[in-house]
Amino acid sequence: MRLSGICADIGVEILPTTATIRAGQTSAVSTLQNILEDRGEGHVIQLLRTFTETENHRARIDTFALYAISDIIVAYPAWADSGLRWLEVFDCIDIAAIQRQAKANRAVVPQRWGVGTLRYIELSAAFAQKPDVAPPRKTARQEREELAAKKASIVERRIDLGRQLAELRDVTPDNRAFGAIVRQRFDLHDANGVGAMIRVARAYGDRSEIYRTVGWRTLVALASDGTPDSVRRNVEARIFAGKRVNGAEIIRARTPIGVRTARTASA
């Protein structure tokens, strides 16, 4: 499978290096291509899932983070092969905070090694904690079901928070006052993320048949002001029909063909 296909399937959008990169997007195409050629498709899939299927979905998918996690997967295969445990451990690791620390110390330690070292410290501590009695090995189906339940729980929490933010927004029309209250009351500092939660809550907060079926990134793309009603209705129909849908697919559907072609060429 080509890199573009892997990224589309996982829900990571490839953008040019000149673009502003947000959550779920990357411009580190050459890095991913090198890792794909050196380590193979399965390695890249696990690498990207470490971002998209954990609480680190907002961390930058950049060259330093990609190489650092890739290095750890290669160096510690027992950790990488632990299945759901790998994602659970990364749920407790703040990749974005590690990236900031490594960047601040880049004059002493190159960022790739800095990110890798800080991550190793947290991973080694987490994997060193072994239960007194080893639990029975889970089947692949059980792991998929547990992961789906975990993602659904994350979506429900964000939907609930979005409802609270929407109620606050309705009674606080002033942008500056609203931002100050959100930072103080909810400790949220990402205006784009706050806006996304409000849009999703307004559009799908009372439609559990939608938000309990797809992931958060899909909901954000679906509720986006940039998604035409025709695309939205088509995606909703596919969801009702039991088809798999992801955020990257919605973004492609709402992007004019000429722009989409230019992005593909630059990738």
User: For position 264, what pLDDT does the model report?
Assistant: 41
Distance CA 83, CA 37 (A): 23
Which residues sit opposite 26 in a β-bridge?
14
Return the ∠ at Cα 141 (arms to 137 and 144), rounded to 5°.
100
190 within 8 A of 58, measured Cβ to Cβ: yes
Looking at the chain, list the stretches that DSSP marks H as alpha helix, in order from N- to C-terminal side.
3-10, 29-39, 41-52, 63-75, 77-80, 84-91, 95-104, 111-128, 140-171, 175-186, 191-204, 208-211, 216-223, 229-240, 247-254, 257-266
Q: How many CB atoms lie within 10 A of CB 185?
A: 11
Averaged pLDDT score across all residues of the chain: 85
Distance CA 119, CA 59 (A): 14
Shortest CA distance to 186 belongs to which of 208, 205, 163, 170? 163
42 pLDDT higher than 50: yes
**138 SS3 class:** coil
User: For position 57, what pLDDT does the model report?
Assistant: 67
89 pLDDT higher than 80: yes
Residues whose CB is less than 8 angstroms from the CB of residue 118 and which lie 6 or more positions away in sequence, other chains included: 98, 101, 102
**DSSP per residue over 67-118, as a string?**
HHHHHHHHH-HHHHTTTHHHHHHHHTS-HHHHHHHHHHTTTTS-HHHHHHHH
Distance CA 23, CA 194 (A): 13
266 DSSP assignment: H
User: For position 248, what pLDDT does the model report?
Assistant: 78
252 pLDDT higher than 90: no
User: For position 266, what pLDDT does the model report?
Assistant: 45
89 within 8 A of 127, measured Cβ to Cβ: yes
Structural element, H or E, at residue 26: strand 25-26
User: For position 33, what pLDDT does the model report?
Assistant: 94
**13 SS3 class:** strand
Domain ranges of the chain: 3-128, 140-266
For 109-123, write each residue's pLDDT tens digit: 888 888 888 888 888
User: For position 133, what pLDDT does the model report?
Assistant: 54
Mean pLDDT (whole number) for 43-49: 92
Has this prediction a pTM greater than 0.85? Answer: no
For 171-183, write each residue's pLDDT tens digit: 999 999 999 999 9
For 224-242, write each residue's pLDDT tens digit: 999 999 999 999 999 999 8
Phi-psi map region of 139: left, alpha, beta (phi>0 left; psi -120 to 50 alpha): beta
